[in-house]
Amino acid sequence: MNTTATVPPALASELPPDAMNVPSWLESALLVPRREGWTTSGGCDIHYFCWGNPRNPGLLLIHGFLAHARCFGFIAPFLAQRYHVVAFDLSGMGDSGVREHYPDSVRAAEVEDVARATGMFDHAVRPIVIAHSYGGHVALSAMRDQHAMFGGLIICDLMVLRPERLEAYFGAEKPLRSAPTRPNRIYPDYATAKSRFVLSPPQPVNVPSLFDYMAYHSLKRVAGGWTWKFDTSVFQSDFGRQERMFRQGEIIAETPGRKAIVYGQGSELFDDDSADYVHECGATDVPIIGIPGARHHLMLDEPIAFVSVLRTILAQWEVQSAR
């Protein structure tokens, strides 16, 4: 894989200042033209990016918890030749506005409002949602009530474990911070702030420059230094309610609409046994595809394989729709 040690001027604001050994494919992807925009949902400003021709069928990409739209910033360009691709920042994260509370109904409304604002419902072909981790939770909430508006959902490594495995996981893992009134810490410089960036669950990544990219866009400059973009208010949400977590397999099976699942075969949150469990819960018609060598953050581990799997699912659905 070709790499470069210097950042092209056109990418100076996109790649971190300490970017090194950036793969040439990543540079090419980030140079694909995109548009930036804002809309409102429930009175909150929502930030998004668009790639591709708006006249093409739509793909709506949803990131995970405490993440941001740019986790798809190097994936979307590979899908933009055939689709109008939109990735947005969930409220309270990335560059979107903040709220006091984030119930599932509010999250589901954001999905619909962004799709409508970007013209996806104007196309004869209904848009497809691709959602990673917590984004899958959000997308399932949207599909539950508005599935007729969407052409399908590709769930990417949403946490699904058998109940006994969930109990063991929650017993061993430190829970997410749940103090929404405590402000994010301000670090004196970027290097110090970046040193505090970790993935959840913790894992190495196969493409180090992608870790650097995610860290850089998870932070913002403020008076006195650098701090996280996400607001601590996001912990006021329905996410993490254990009664729902213990029903995740059933929820996938019960949610109407066309669905597929993609996961990293080295993931701690969804693995080969999870695939069997989802089918046992009744989702027997849902294709489940594992990516070897990928963990939970599969776009950071095997981005090209991830793109290839997404393209394959989308192409198959196109064939099915044309019959």
Domain boundaries, the chain: 26-171+240-317
Which candidate, 97, 2, 110, 3, places its Cα nearest to that of 61?
A: 110
Residue 190's identity, in one-letter code, is Y
Q: In angstroms, rounded to a whole number, what is the distance separating the alpha carbons of residues 321 and 242? A: 37
Q: Which residues pair with 136 in a beta bridge?
A: none
Please list the pLDDT of the chain residue by residue as tens digits (323 residues).
444 445 567 788 899 988 888 999 999 999 999 999 999 999 999 999 999 999 999 999 999 999 999 999 999 999 999 999 999 999 999 999 999 899 999 999 999 999 999 999 999 999 999 999 999 999 999 999 899 999 999 999 999 999 999 989 887 765 555 566 678 999 999 999 999 999 999 998 888 999 999 999 999 999 999 999 999 999 877 765 556 788 999 999 999 999 999 999 999 999 999 999 999 999 999 999 999 999 999 999 999 999 999 999 999 999 888 77
- How far is CA 63 from each of CA 67, 93, 288, 294, rounded to the nearest angstrom? 6, 10, 19, 17
Q: In angstroms, rounded to a whole number, what is the distance separating the alpha carbons of residues 151 and 128? A: 5
Report yes or no: 147 and 78 within 8 Å, Cβ to Cβ: no
Residue 193's identity, in one-letter code, is A
Residue 29's identity, in one-letter code, is A
Which candidate, 136, 134, 84, places its Cα nearest to that of 114?
A: 84
Give the CATH H-level superfamily of domain 26-171+240-317: Alpha/Beta hydrolase fold, catalytic domain (3.40.50.1820)
Residue 277 tokens read as 């469990």
Start-end of H helices in 51-189: 104-117, 134-146, 163-172
